[in-house]
Amino acid sequence: MRVSLAIILVTYLTPVLLSLLYQNAIRNNTDDIYCFCMRPTKAVVIVGIVGTGLFALLIILSYLGGQFKGATAAVFVTLMILGIITILSPIKGFWDITVDGNDMTTSRLWCIKKHYEISNISFCQYVSGGIRVVFKNTDKIKIESIIYTNVQTFEKRMEKEGIELVSYSGY
């Protein structure tokens, strides 16, 4: 019973606290096309909270039914961790694309950063769910329009720079 109570507390207190942190965080929603940040939206947090809550419920039910063993436990715990990562995604530096002047930086998990230059973009391609940015050195990034904020600002910047935005004809 103590384990199920601990799971309930961790599962529901963590998302509530993180969503409060998300509400109070300073967001870089600006119309400046030369300096902006693209971060996951609040919808991603809601999906994470709902998913984590459902998996916590499944863990509790399987624990009370005596089925919480081996592979079942590993699957449920893995899905809980993925849900918590989804909840953390809008926090600054966790999952960002930052554009500052000619510099474009992608950061993951606060420590994995990759720098690009906007002048090295050969073209941008509209694909299912977002924009694929193709660089001259064959690097590619996909900017999901459903997940990220400020995608329209990025499109305006590409038009201003004269970088071609092409449609994807592979549907």
Per DSSP, what are the bridge partners of residue 134? 123, 140
Instruction: Give residue 153's Cα distance to chain centre.
Output: 18
User: CA quadruple 3, 15, 91, 43: dihedral positive or negative?
Assistant: positive
CB contact set of 38 (below 8 Å; sequence gap of 6+): 96, 97, 98, 99, 143, 148, 149, 150, 151, 154
- Residue 135 has a CB neighbour count (10 Å cut-off) of 17
Q: Where are the domains of the chain?
A: 2-88, 97-167
0.75 cut: is pTM over it? Answer: no
Query: What is the residue-level pLDDT of the chain in tens, covering all 171 positions?
Result: 566 666 666 666 666 666 656 554 545 556 788 888 888 877 787 888 888 888 777 777 777 777 767 777 788 778 878 888 887 787 788 888 889 989 999 988 888 999 999 999 999 988 887 888 989 887 888 888 778 888 888 889 999 999 888 887 655
pLDDT of residue 8: 66
**158 neighbors 38 (Cβ within 8 angstroms):** no
Q: State the architecture of 97-167 in CATH terms.
A: Roll (2.30)
Q: What is the DSSP letter of 119?
A: G
